[in-house]
Amino acid sequence: MFRDVLDALRNEVPGAFGRENAEAGRFPWNDFAPDDRERIEIWSPEWPEEPAGVPEVPRLGLPPLVWDGGEEPELPRPAIQGEVERSGIEALAYYRSYHMADRWGVYVREAGLYLVASDVFDDSNSDAVYRVQIAFRLLHAHEILHFLTDTAATLLELTTACPLYLPYVRGYASRNWNPLEEGLANAYALRNFAGKTWAPRIRSFMDGQPHGYKDFRNWGRPSSFLLGRRNLATEILNRHLGSLPLGEMLFDFRMIDLDMRDVPVYLVLSPASQLRGGRWRFISSVRNINLSQRFQKELAALGGEVVKQWRKAERLLAQDTRSRSLKFEKLKNCDRVFSVRLSQSYRATLRLVKDDHWLALRVGNHDDIYRNPGWP
């Protein structure tokens, strides 16, 4: 779907595209933008033809992130807190618009991941890989709001046949960022942790960021978040006669029609990157599963309905780990061990052994599996 939107914009509003440096002046990330040697792509959009007659699987965001380098990485504490105080989250991750950049997408700094994992999600009860995953989730969610702003502008451009995103960006180039958009982006990122124990620490982290970023509290309630999106649509349209009615509907913030997998993701390496001995990668599918003796015994004992649920989970894992029914996620403090939901009552655990080979460890009652996942 999204590829069609980009093709339509190129054909119908060719003036909508420009160049990053020429169009928008100086962006806050210019001080730490990478060259090609310092950037690796860890997610590339997949736009396959949809098979006829195959129902769409309800999906979550991106697949789980895993460290693929043997020993678990020891997280450094990068000395970049001052950059965050000056430039907000854009010192840690940033979004490059398809309106202005050939290699558009979300750019996550390796140093940014480690700063957030070490400072915001510092917890002796959580392993390093788990903390990096939730750090990525926070930074990625902030940048996805910028992608949603990009697409909201595109919908208006296709409707009016006028370039709108570039003039909108020029309007705040002298300030380096739009306070309204950044406040909404932080509020959107925080929504992903609503009710979680991490939320107070995330709020404290955001309170230490510059004007606009720290205004996330203004947009925290559903009604105010709606109003903020409406005001942002009004700014994009450059409307001076009051807010744009229903402008909030331009932002697909629940990702119903858009898909996070449409957005390329790059990891920006630090000079002394830990990735020299390994790599971060997404687990988008699980196909090669061997069954441990314990797993086989437990599955046989449960029998009937649970066996059917496991077979269904196997098929979904091979197709897409983001299927909502799987709730596929890494377990804290368990080396490369993931849980899979079979039903409301039953879970299974899998361990990534090497490359794309997995071992099914246990299957059983939800509470029992989380107390004893079968590893080590």
Q: What is the mean pLDDT of residues 99-110?
A: 90
Instruction: Give yes or no: residues 234 and 133 share one domain.
Output: yes
pLDDT more than 70, % of the chain: 86
pLDDT of the residue at 197: 86
Q: What is the mean pLDDT of residues 28-43?
A: 60
Share of the chain above pLDDT 90, in %: 53
- Is 366 part of a structural domain of the chain? yes
- 296 assigned to some structural domain: yes
Name residues whose C-beta falls within 8 Å of residue 244's C-beta, 6 or more positions apart in sequence. Answer: 230, 233, 234, 237
Nearest to 107 by CA among 10, 34, 208, 169: 34
Residues 79 and 105 in one domain: yes
Q: Are 150 and 98 in contact (CB under 8 A)?
A: yes
**179 phi and psi angles, rounded to 5 deg:** -55, -40
pLDDT digits (tens, 9 = 90+) for 348-364: 999 999 888 999 999 99
Compute the average pLDDT of residues 298-307: 95
Q: Look at residue 376 and tell me if it is in a domain.
A: no
Domain stop point among 251, 276, 301: 276
Domain boundary (220, 255, 276) is at: 276
Q: Residues near 30 by Cβ (< 8 Å), separated by ≥ 6?
A: none
As a whole number of angstroms, the distance between CA 285 and CA 17 comes to: 35
Q: Does pLDDT of 206 surpass 50?
A: yes
Look at residue 205 and tell me whether its pLDDT is greater than 50. Answer: yes
Task: Say whether both 148 and 289 belong to one domain.
Answer: no
Q: What is the pLDDT of residues 264-301, one digit of tens each?
A: 988 888 776 766 556 777 888 999 999 999 999 999 99
Report the C-alpha gap between 67 and 230 in whole angstroms.
40
State in Å, rounded, how far the first CA of the chain is from the last one.
Answer: 43
Q: Are residues 127 and 44 in the same domain?
A: yes
Average pLDDT over residues 330-340: 88
Same domain assignment for residues 270 and 322:
no
- Structure-token pair, residue 334: 């368990």
The reply to whether 322 and 189 lie within a common domain is: no
Is 251 within the bounds of a domain? Answer: yes
Domain that holds residue 357: 285-371
Residue 363 lies in a domain: yes
Which class for 204: exposed (0-12), middle (13-18), buried (19 or more C-beta within 10 A)?
exposed
Other beta carbons less than 10 A from residue 314's beta carbon = 16
Cα Dmax for the chain = 70
| For residue 35, pLDDT beyond 50 | no
Last residue of a domain, one of 243, 276, 309: 276
pTM for this model (two decimals): 0.83
Contact yes or no for 49/108 (Cβ under 8 A)? no
Position 214 pLDDT exceeds 90:
yes
pLDDT at 21: 60
CATH number (domain holding residue 306)? 3.30.2310.20
Report d(CA 315, CA 337) in Å as an integer.
Answer: 19
Same domain, 142 and 268: yes
Average pLDDT rounded to a whole number, residues 332-350: 92
Same domain for 261 and 290, yes or no, is no
Does residue 246 lie in a domain region?
A: yes
* Domain match, 198 and 271 both: yes
Query: Domain count of the chain?
Result: 2
Tell me whether residue 241 is in a domain. yes
Same domain, 176 and 252: yes
- Whether residue 213 is found in the same domain as residue 310: no
Q: What is the pLDDT of residue 36?
A: 42
13-29 average pLDDT score: 70
Q: Is the pLDDT of residue 58 over 60?
A: no
Q: Quote the pLDDT of residue 188.
A: 97
127 and 260 within one domain: yes
The dihedral region occupied by 70, where left means phi > 0, alpha psi between -120 and 50, and beta the remainder, is left
> Cis omega (within 30 of 0) on the bond before 376?
yes
> Over the stretch 117-126, which tens digit does the pLDDT of each residue have?
999 998 767 7
pLDDT in tens, 225-249: 999 999 999 999 987 667 788 999 9
Q: In this structure, is residue 266 part of a structural domain?
A: yes
- Predicted pLDDT at 252: 93
